Chains A and B, each alone.
Chain A
Amino acid sequence: MSALRQTPASASAVSFPRVLRSEWIKLRSLRSTTLTLAAGLAAMVGMAVMVGLIRNHQWATMSDLQRQSVSVSYDVHVGGRFLGQLLLGVAGVLVVTGEYATGMIRATLAAVPRRLPVLTAKLTLLTLVLGATTLAASFAAWFLGSAVMSAHWHASLSDPGVLRAVVGQAVVLTATALLGASLGFLLRNTAAAIATLFGIVLVLPIVGELWTAVAPYLPSNALESVALARPDPDALAPGAGLLLFAAFTAVVLAGGIWSLLRKDA
């Protein structure tokens, strides 16, 4: 009955590239995940254009001070970042919790009983796919946003900090998705993981505004430092901010690995 009979089982051994390929098939075969990813990328570019159009429209009625503040701001193009961060973070959560919610995880782990390759493959895939697409979207947002505002505003990628901020925006989005996936492994529940992620990205910065001493050290604020063209004097340096966020994510991820390896599926 089989096309496999001739192939020895040893030729079928589970390996990391094979698990990665399996995860790639899973990622692109689910409409919920692909739509969330596409929406996140579209939000980044769309918001940059929209913010530019609104500023153009308001230009005539702006005071000199307001005009000056806009013209020195490079953050026009990152207006979509928060929305993008939420959507891509959710996509990161879903890649993991979607499996727990449906029972698919049992099929996945029966195929890969060592389990850890599933986690590394999912994170690698998110890094590759989101790294590439958010970088493209970030540059698209920059160029389109600049083009829309070109009548009033002149900025170049070669201005100090700008290139780092444009690339940094892609880093922020990809890192947020990785945090989402890590929370997914830790909590195994879509609602809990999304609520926690939104708490970290949306609610903690509000706490920071009330308690300014801790503000720079909150994960989302620390991460945001890599996407600021003009460093905020109150924020951490971009490298330090990224490191702090990476350390925070690593702690969550360690919990996720523990949960994956030690708990029943």
Chain B
Amino acid sequence: MIDVTDLTKRYGDRLAVDALSFRVEPGRVTGFLGPNGAGKSTTMRMIVGLDAPTAGTARVDGRAYRDHRAPLREVGVLLEAHAIHPGRSARDHLRALAATHAIPHARVEQVIDLVGLRQVAGKRAGAFSLGMGQRLGIAAALLGDPGTVILDEPVNGLDPEGVLWVRTLLRGLAAEGRTIFLSSHLMSEMALTADHLIVVGRGRLIADLPVEELTRRAASDRVLVRTPDATTLRERLAGPGVAVASGARDELEVSGLTSAQIGTVARDHGLTLHELTPQRATLEEAFMELTRDAVEYEAVAA
């Protein structure tokens, strides 16, 4: 479990993280979502003690990261910028980290297999592709078999197969009761991987909600109808709480009725329908809506 309370990070006169408070619960995948520059990486670095907060606290299982006596056994972390010396082999990199906690070689070999780097474990990490480097970073994060796993943009640079692998892996780890906290700027990826979302923008908390709820918010009650009998149908649908807007010549946009109700009305009056489509905002649109005011760098339409 991760507890962040009033966490603040100031660089000069810029607030990168602004009094952020949230809790990441065990047993589910929590997505940390926000546009680039929203303060996600800074927050994660503060949780694992690499950056010192200007104010506030971050605790993992009730303790500041640096107060854990065997931190790699409690928390595994993958940071966005690769924390790997390119001149060292994957195996030596993992062995060096393992040595600080007397984690046995057998475990090093186990995580090498887990992330599928067996063939290249003896090669210099500098020769790795972005995706292989990402796998090595995940291996390092899992080295201590930690109860909490923090991953910054883990699917960056992975091929589709790798993305699916990470998704399955994280869901499995969460199912084992671990706390999984991963960041992304891609709503579409989060929708598939996460159970819960913490959304930030400009260093502030925007939303802390289950993915399902965002999905629900994204759904609207508008239904698009295409019919050659637009004028007649429009009259027949009219009623309290129903609004009908006309689009193109044969199009109606109806709110206040479900597509089933509209279909029934049309049949009852012998009207032909060419199309009957419930309108849904995509999750991506819902996310954009949520973060609209919080986008740090936005192209301005000329």
Partner-binding segment picked from A38-46, A81-89, A96-104, A156-164 = A96-104
Chain A, Cβ-Cβ closest to B173: A1
Q: State the CA gap A17–B106 with chains docked (Å).
A: 20
- For the residues of B in contact with A, the DSSP-based class is loop
B99 touching A22, Cβ below 8 Å: yes
Residues of A with C-beta under 8 A to B96: 22-23, 25-26, 29
Q: State the CA gap A102–B125 with chains docked (Å).
A: 11
B145 touching A103, Cβ below 8 Å: no
Cβ-based interface call for A109 (8 A): yes
Q: How many residues of A sit at the interface, in one of the four size bands?
A: 35 or more
Cβ-based interface call for B114 (8 A): yes
Q: State the CA gap A264–B49 with chains docked (Å).
A: 9
Instruction: Report the number of A-B residue pairs with Cβ-Cβ less than 8 Å.
Output: 128
Question: Which listed residue (B69, B100, B104) contacts A111, Cβ 8 A?
Answer: B100
Cβ-based interface call for B86 (8 A): yes
Q: State the CA gap A5–B52 with chains docked (Å).
A: 32
Residue count of chain B within 8 Å CB distance of chain A? 44
Cβ-based interface call for A12 (8 A): yes
A11 touching B50, Cβ below 8 Å: no
Known: A3-B110, A106-B83, A111-B72. A22 touches B100 (CB 8 A): yes
Question: Which listed residue (B79, B92, B103, B145) contacts A5, Cβ 8 A?
Answer: B145
Residues of B with C-beta under 8 A to A18: 99-102
B69 touching A14, Cβ below 8 Å: yes
Q: State the CA gap A21–B72 with chains docked (Å).
A: 16
B103 touching A12, Cβ below 8 Å: yes
B97 touching A264, Cβ below 8 Å: no
B101 touching A21, Cβ below 8 Å: no
Chain B, Cβ-Cβ closest to A112: B100
Cβ-based interface call for A206 (8 A): no
Residues of A with C-beta under 8 A to B52: 262, 264
Cβ-based interface call for A2 (8 A): yes
Residues on B facing A (Cβ under 8 Å): 45, 48-52, 65-66, 68-74, 77, 79, 81-89, 92-93, 95-97, 99-104, 106-107, 110, 114, 140, 144-145
Residues on A facing B (Cβ under 8 Å): 1-5, 9-14, 18-19, 21-23, 25-26, 29-32, 98-99, 102-114, 262, 264-265
